[in-house]
Structure formats: C-alpha cells, structure tokens
Structure 1
Amino acid sequence: MYTPVAADVAKLRNTTGAGMMDCKKALVEAEGDFEKAIEILRKKGQKVAANRADRESSEGAVIAKVNGDNTHGVIIALNCETDFVAKNDDFVKLAHDLAETALGKSKEEFLAADFQGSTVAEKLIEQTGVIGEKIEIGSFEKIEGPFLGAYIHAGNKIAAITSLSANVSGAEEAAKAVSMQVAAMNPIALDETMVSQETIDRELEIERDILTKEGKPANIIDNILKGKMQKFYKDNTLVHQAFIKDGSVSVADYVKSVNADLKVMGFVRVSLT
C-alpha cells in the first residue's frame, strides 16, 4: 500500500486547507496521485455540503474591497454556521481573498471565476468538507463611482462602501468616515428622493394614526405630517443624518467641508447582525 511522505501531505494541506489526516487518507486512496487526491477531497466536500444543505449559515465574515483606482468596490458575506469558525484567521483570510476575486464581477461571474485552481463555487463546496460547516456566499453588493472608500467594522460583521463625486484632496479620509457612518447608522437611502414611496406611505400612515388618536384636528394634521417627515428624512437618509464624528453638522455638510464641490453619490452596506 502507498505510504505518503510528510512533504506530500503538507503540500496537499496547503493547497486545499484540509486537515492532515484527511490529506493523508486522500493520498493513500489516490495512490500518490496529487490531482486525484484533490478531487477526492472535493468530492468529500460535496458529500458534506449535501448533508448540511438545510443548515442555517447565519454567521460569517463581511468583507469590503475597493480596486486600485477606487472606482469599483464590492462587499461579500462569506457565511458559515458558527461564530467559532467565523473568527478563525484562515476563514477570514479566505473571505478577503474571495472578495478580491469578486471585484469587478457580477455574482454569477464571481462564482464561476477561477480561484486557486477551481471555481469559487467549487472552492466553497471544498471548504464545506474541510471545515465541516455549511459555507456559502450570502450577501453580494457591488458599487461603482468616481471615488470609493470602504470600512469594515471590528469583528467583520458589518461593512460599507461610499461613493464620492470626485477624487480630491481628503477624499480618502472622507469616504472612509462616511462609510463608517453608513455602517453605524444604517441609513435607508441617500436622501429623501431615494426613499421608496412604499416607505413614505407607511410612515405617513403610522404618524397620521398617532396624531388622530391624540385628538389632533384633521385640518392641521397634514401640516404636522410635513414636519414629521422632515425629521424622518433627517434621521434616516445618509446626507441629512447628523455626522457621527461631529453631531453639529450633517454628513453632507461634513463632505462639503472637505471640498466645497464634493458630494456623496451612493453607498452599499452589508450586515450579519
């Protein structure tokens, strides 16, 4: 019977991330054929993935990446089953590497892209076998803009990317600061024009019901609602929110303080919490 040498086991482990004993067994089964051993481990991953298909993968790592010229960005959530795995250094590194691969691609293109000798989709199945938990891509958000900046909150549970209108002096710091705002305050839209009519109608209905129950006269409720909605936009839309680093100014005013012509163009946010 073929007996694998330590160097071959180590090489297979480095290539696949599988445990030492799994690598040794795969090499024995493959009679020393390295590529066949990789395939054996991948098939094992498929079996584990099938057995865990109904498991909930609500933990994981959320990673934001921006390309070299700060014009394309992506946030992915690499999901797993437990926080123990989510905090593992190798798992977090895998999430970072996958996010790099995702830059400039649609989710479909990303899953089909080459990643360490296999497709991303195949790698996820393989890692399910290696780790023993359901591993999958959850959220996938991409963004383009004149200048992007990213922020990943400590613990890799929330990430955000903000688009600014120009690459000017101070834009890098400003984009990161606004992305931190997005991560912390979770705005529902960029400004009032981007709030869905469904959200507006729901908010108006709630406030109208409250005012009616308070006995406010019908002829003044509409005027009161205008003020209520202004406060709603101030609290919930990014450019009107109070800036978390200086509550005396709005996010829009902070950005203008960096450069008078600078504006926030958009944002994306992903959270596991």
Structure 2
Amino acid sequence: MSVSIDQVKALRDETGVSIMVCRKALEEAQGDIEKAKVILRKHSKLAAEKKADRALSAGTIGVYVHAGGEVAAMVHLACETDFVAKNEVFQTLARDIAMHIAAMAPVAARREDVAQDERQAALAVFQEEAAGKPDDVREKVVNGKMDSWYRERVLLEQPFVKDESRTIGDLLNEATQKFGERIDAVAFKRFSVR
C-alpha cells in the first residue's frame, strides 16, 4: 500500500523517528498511524536491545523542582556522545524524567535494584493472600501482584506521568531509536521536605 507524504510527516512529527522508518512502519500498518506507532515502539525496543552493550560516556543531569520548592528530583540520563547529550530534545527528555521522578517517587531504576528484603516481603504477602487457591491460579495471582507492585516502584516500568500509554522504559527505547545510540537512566534521586 502506498502512503502519502502527509501521513509520513504526521508520524515523524509525533515520534521524531526518521522519515524512512516512518514510511516503512506506515506501509506495514497499511496507512493506519496508530498501528504504525505500535510498530515503531516494537522496533524501538529491538533497537535498544541491540545497543544494550554499548558504553555510555556522555549524558546530562535532568533537574526538576516543583512549584514551591517542596519536591525536587535529579536524573543522570546517559548516552554515548556529547552530540546527543547537548541536543535540546535529549535535554527535555531528561527534565521530563526528573519531573516524573518527583511526581511518582520510584524507589529503584530496575527490578533488580529493589532491595531484596523488600521484594521478599512483598512476595510473602502476595503468597499468603493467594493461599488456598489452586496451584496454577496461585502462581498467576502472585506473579500479577508482583508485576503490579514493581510498576508502582520501578522507574523503567512506571507509566510516564505525561502519557500513561508509555512507560519510562518505552521513552528510553524510543530515544535510543531516535538518536541511534544507547540512552539510559543511570541514577536518580528524589528530594522532599516532607
């Protein structure tokens, strides 16, 4: 199916992905922009996986201070080159992630960064709640509750505060595809006067 230049331009404006990649995604989605966005998300995840072992030698610190100064957050958003680190879109992404951290108060960047005693305590509670259910149901219930528990606490799994249809991990994967190099939230800190 042939797609129009206007469709390609609209998708590029929304996603920031290259024109050729947008055109291919639209052709695969038979002109449906929403389906093309889903295709681009899948491609961005694959692109991020391919670049996962690259060294991150540049980056920026994104800072957000909420009105009134009672809550603030900082995030070290790392990338491979200074060229990307100085890019305005990259800088905005870092600030948006810092704002998300201030609003959502994650406790860790990834599942494996959550303290083991916290994980085990949550698992014990969910296993106790699921006691008495059939084995196959119990396992699904416990896994589902743990996934939900992680989504509340882990930065990369939290729905982005400005667009809950995407997670912070999705944003980083999309940025990796957009800039053509690995992007990662290496560290963060949230401050609150309360």
Query: Do both share a fold (TM > 0.5)?
Result: yes
Structure 1 equivalent of residue 150 of structure 2: none
Aligned residues: 145
Q: Which moved more, 1:43-52 or 1:76-85?
A: 43-52
The reply on whether 1:113 has 2:159 as its aligned counterpart is yes
Q: Which residue, 127, 131, 137 being the options, matches 2:185?
A: 137
- The structure whose residues are more often strand, as a share, is 1
SS in 2 for 1:103: helix
**TM-fit CA distance, 1:76:** 0.5
Q: Which residue, 95, 101, 125 being the options, matches 2:173?
A: 125
Q: Distance in 2 between matches of 1:76 and 1:101?
A: 10
The structure whose RCO (Cα within 8 Å, separation 6+) is larger is: 2
Q: How does 1:95-244 map to 2 (within 5 A)?
A: 95-104=94-103, 105-106=105-106, 107=108, 108-111=153-156, 112-114=158-160, 115-116=162-163, 117-145=165-193
Q: Distance in 1 between matches of 2:154 and 2:66?
A: 17
SS in 2 for 1:56: coil
Structure 2 equivalent of residue 199 of structure 1: none
Q: Distance in 2 between matches of 1:35 and 1:110?
A: 26
Q: Distance in 2 between matches of 1:14 and 1:68?
A: 30
CA contact under 8 A between 1:42 and 1:129: conserved in structure 2? Answer: no
SS in 2 for 1:26: helix
**TM-fit CA distance, 1:58:** 2.6
Structure 2 equivalent of residue 21 of structure 1: 20
**TM-fit CA distance, 1:67:** 0.7
CA contact under 8 A between 2:47 and 2:177: conserved in structure 1? Answer: yes
TM-score (norm: length of structure 1): 0.50
The reply on whether 1:83 has 2:129 as its aligned counterpart is no
TM-score (norm: length of structure 2): 0.68
**Gap runs ≥5 in structure 2:** 109-152
Q: Distance in 2 between matches of 1:19 and 1:31?
A: 18
% of aligned pairs identical?
36
Q: Distance in 1 between matches of 2:14 and 2:3?
A: 16
Structure 2 equivalent of residue 42 of structure 1: 41
Q: Distance in 2 between matches of 1:118 and 1:36?
A: 15
**TM-fit CA distance, 1:109:** 4.8
Q: Which moved more, 1:126-135 or 1:75-84?
A: 126-135
**TM-fit CA distance, 1:14:** 2.2
| Moved segments of 4+, more than 3 Å | 107-110
Structure 2 equivalent of residue 6 of structure 1: 5
Counterpart residue identity of residue 85, structure 1 = V
**Gap runs ≥5 in structure 1:** 147-273
Which structure has the bigger radius of gyration?
A: 1
